[in-house]
Structure 1
Amino acid sequence: MPDQNRNLKWQNIALMGFVMVWGFGNVVNNFANQGLTVVFSWIFMIALYFVPYTLMVGELGSAFKDSQGGVSAWIRSTTTPMLAFMAGWTYWVVHVPYLAQKPQTLLIALSWAISPSGELATVLKELNPMILQGMVLLIFLVFLYISTKGVKVLKVIGNVAGTSMFVMSLLFIALGLAAPAITGHVETPNITLHSFVPKFDFTYLTTLSMLVFAVGGCEKIAPYVNNTKNPSKNFPKGMLVLAGMVAVCALLGSIAMGMIFNANDIPKDLMMNGQYYAFQLLGDHYGVGSLFVIIYALANTAAQLSALVFSIDAPLRVLLGEADDNFIPKGLSKTNKNGVLVNGYIMTAVLVSILIIVPALGIGNTNELFNWLLKLNSVVMPMRYLWVFLAYMGLKKAIGKFDTEYKFIKNPKIGFLVGLWCFGFTAFACIMGMFPTDVPAFSSEWIFRVGLNVMTPIVLMGIGLILPFIAKRTNKNQSISK
């Protein structure tokens, strides 16, 4: 690549990667899972998982500079076309649980924006799950329709909202750490070094998937490795700074949470409403009332609107935009006059609608339903990271086949083992995340949740395995008819 096109510095790489990876919800959700022991977990995750993950992405981006960083393209180059299709399918299908919960988070954000004292949020929390999910389904279908019309304005709003939420996250850390100086005490009593060390039992292992979910997604930065000045030096430097930024936000944010919430008595709805409770408490500490809650709720409402619409359309285009006729039925790639993948939208609507309604039949508490969907996302979403590590292992096995300007690990055997470690840890975390610990083991609700957690990824991936057989029959018939 000509030097004039290499205009990114390590600072640019770090900031771009941070926006793609991190959010304030990562701090709240993992604190709700682990309390102050999450500090140890963040150190472990960042040092032994996130840092190698980001540097593998840099090497893969350098090796496949013409693929625009697509994971399915990496898999196609290092394994087989069938696995490449499954990688693309996984990237799309993991967004189904994400889309099933997005309208919930939108409703919650809007309720706090309208009623910053939390009355509307309380109404939502106590609502019958079937009524709530009916509202969620309606919102999803409305925005599914809107996304067929083009929503560039919403995407712009989302970018602005994302930036403002990042600023609010940093503001929370600063104000949260300073709050004890004003109040004269911290909410978590008797904090010692032991307070940060987790108990390595079954319950702890079930929380790992949420940590993996929090730090994933840096493969989106891969296409920019070849736009970086002196990539062999500046790209890994940017990735390491990214890891440092995530570490600072995760560690300080978790400590700040422990100062304004009692880590020994965490509210049961902290995942659902914790972000707003946090800013509500800060507003009380600093005498500004509901100001912080309103600003954060408005920013989050705009961000959720944009994320909902963007996540309906963009992953589907990745899957069907350059569909391989050997694996995907041509009918799914049909577009209308607006260029919308109509049959793909119908497939999305069916799968998401099922995942919105079915859980409400067996989970009788709205807060528990919200938490379950969030934890399901932490089980399903990291499945797409598995393909990154598989591609890296394939790259290390293909010694000398691909030219890379940047190498994370030069020794192919050691590199393969590091990729295998990240692959194995991700798979283990996803499996452990399937087991709920907030209801009695082997109770009817426990069995229902575990069944949904196990069957959801199996069914979603199984549909992907069926599509090539459908494509083989329908595409052949279409060719004969022509």
Structure 2
Amino acid sequence: MAEQKDSKQLFWYNIALLAFVAVWGLGNVVNNFAQEGLVVVVSWILIMVLYFVPYTLMVGQMGATFKDAEGGVSSWIKEVSTKRLAYFAAWTYWVVHIPYLAQKPQAIMIALSWFFSGNGNFVNVTSSMIVQALSLVIFLIFLFLASRGITTLNRIGSIAGMSMFVMSILFIILGLSAPAMTGSSIATANMNHISTYIPKFDFKYFTTISMLVFAVGGAEKISPYVNKTKNPAKNFPKGMIALAIMVAVSAIMGSFAMGMIFDAKHIPSDLMANGAYVAFQRLGKFYHVGNILMYVYAIANAMASIAAFAVSIDAPLRILLDDADPQFVPAALRKKNADGVPVNGYKLTGVLVGIIIIIPALGIGGTNTLYNWLLNLNSVVMPLRYLWVFLAFMLLNKHLDKFHSDYMFVKNSKLGFGIGLWCFVFTAFACILGMVPKIAYATSPTEWWFQLVLNIAMPIFLISLGLILPAIARRQNREL
């Protein structure tokens, strides 16, 4: 009994800090400012209230209900539904990381180019074919290292992750205080006018929502902490609300800081790729420390990207294969070598990532455009895994009398089902509209259509591929 008591030592502020470091980063501020400008301030408030808070509290209830579930979302689905749906949840969780793996080599190269050259010319000058060829080489090197059992860079990743967190907070403090402390001018005019922050709720605006959803998603990572929380019914929701406040403050203050450094009405086309580095470079000049801030951020971002890249090759694949049901996953894919490495799983990963690295370069011209497209593709594909969280919550509320939880988000099953349905529909809506290309149609109609076809085809191809494996498994099982 004493041991159980000692294991529950997390309070609401511990939960809030752990979750904040896990789900938030400066890139979320930069990417959404690049798409919306200062109207993103209102967007952040809306997304927090209508989506992020209920999302995190749902995760809390699911984690508290299924305390011993080791497979995360797929385990939740298995408990409230069928093994088949659980397989598709695990497949989705893995396959949405494929575009992420295709994009990470670019992020590493951009960070290193800023560190060694001190400018963003790599994005604006280098041919997209050269960049993608280098991306493929980098990916294959990491895939080889992972297949040899070098799967984690935990120590480097932890240090780099904490450094990125510190740099994100430092950016907000330095950015907001720069005009008063250094006398620097504010880049965006009329920042004291409310009209500057009011979005125009048109079709173009709704196509940017997927990036906001992408930014605040991933709360299911913190579900294991529910069972380590003292008095979870009280402390966990309090921690989640504190998390929402911390994220909202960081997002809003970070957006204000971006508006002071960049003109929100004339946003550079390479802001997603180079914005954070340019921001620290300008802050360095304001505070008379040269490029030191930019160099620190570049090396921290490179190390964090490398660590995340290495882990993301292996961890999602093991979630899919380690507890794979032979009914749905063929024996060949589950096969492991003497070191316990799923070699054929790595080969499948290599083929899919190779396709996403090579094909876009054939029709998307510049490196900057390619980077922006791949980031937007991630904002369309990655939130698909959140759909399973909301489906699990809806199904849980259908059978609420069968399950016990120390923490309940809402006790009314119909209300709980409705909230889960709202988040499910909202996520699907954001992903579908996010498929619309962000380049202007008039700029290049051919490239616009090429991007649209890829944005629709890639998610369908990746998810549909999961339908083939059960058919192969059934055939093999019949033969056996």
After superposition, the C-alpha distances for 1:2-21 in whole angstroms (9 at most, x for unaligned) are 32221111111111111111
1:186 corresponds in structure 2 to: 186
After superposition, the C-alpha distances for 1:67-103 in whole angstroms (9 at most, x for unaligned) are 0361001111112211110000000000000000000
Distance in 1, matches of 2:435 and 2:408, equals 35
Paired residues for 1:149-298 under 5 Å:
149-151=148-150, 154-181=153-180, 182-191=182-191, 192-298=193-299
1:356 corresponds in structure 2 to: 357
- Pairing partner for 2:114 from 101, 108, 112: 112
Letter in 1 for 2:36: Q
2:68 corresponds in structure 1 to: 66
Please identify, of 40-49 and 59-68, the stretch whose mean Cα deviation from structure 2 is larger: 59-68
1:147 corresponds in structure 2 to: 146
Do 1:69 and 1:220's aligned partners in 2 also have CA atoms closer than 8 Å? no
1:403 corresponds in structure 2 to: 404
TM-score, normalised to structure 2, is 0.97
Do 1:327 and 1:469's aligned partners in 2 also have CA atoms closer than 8 Å? yes
Unaligned runs of 5+ in 1: none
1:87 corresponds in structure 2 to: 89
- TM-superposed CA distance for 1:185, in Å, is 2.5
1:101 corresponds in structure 2 to: 103
2:34 corresponds in structure 1 to: 32
1:425 corresponds in structure 2 to: 426
- TM-superposed CA distance for 1:333, in Å, is 1.3
2:388 corresponds in structure 1 to: 387
Do 2:58 and 2:409's aligned partners in 1 also have CA atoms closer than 8 Å? yes
Distance in 2, matches of 1:436 and 1:450, equals 6
- TM-superposed CA distance for 1:404, in Å, is 0.7
**Once superposed, what is the RMSD of the aligned Cα atoms?**
1.3
Do 2:152 and 2:311's aligned partners in 1 also have CA atoms closer than 8 Å? no
Query: Secondary structure of the equivalent of 2:153?
Result: helix
Paired residues for 1:466-481 under 5 Å:
466-477=468-479, 480=480
After superposition, the C-alpha distances for 1:388-435 in whole angstroms (9 at most, x for unaligned) are 000000011103110011100111111110100000000000000000
After superposition, the C-alpha distances for 1:232-257 in whole angstroms (9 at most, x for unaligned) are 00011111111111011100000000
1:137 corresponds in structure 2 to: 136
Number of positions where the alignment pairs a residue of Structure 1 with one of Structure 2? 475
1:448 corresponds in structure 2 to: 450
After superposition, the C-alpha distances for 1:94-125 in whole angstroms (9 at most, x for unaligned) are 00000000000000011111122x0xx30343
Distance in 1, matches of 2:152 and 2:390, equals 36
2:50 corresponds in structure 1 to: 48
Letter in 1 for 2:135: V
Do 1:439 and 1:445's aligned partners in 2 also have CA atoms closer than 8 Å? no
Please identify, of 406-415 and 124-133, the stretch whose mean Cα deviation from structure 2 is larger: 124-133
Distance in 2, matches of 1:220 and 1:123, equals 34
- TM-superposed CA distance for 1:222, in Å, is 0.7
Letter in 1 for 2:183: T
Distance in 2, matches of 1:433 and 1:153, equals 32
Distance in 2, matches of 1:321 and 1:216, equals 25
Letter in 1 for 2:204: T
Do 2:73 and 2:388's aligned partners in 1 also have CA atoms closer than 8 Å? yes
Unaligned runs of 5+ in 2: none
Query: Secondary structure of the equivalent of 1:382?
Result: helix
Letter in 2 for 1:440: Y
Q: Give the share of equivalent positions with the same residue, in percent.
A: 59
- TM-superposed CA distance for 1:262, in Å, is 0.4
Distance in 2, matches of 1:415 and 1:154, equals 39
Letter in 2 for 1:97: P
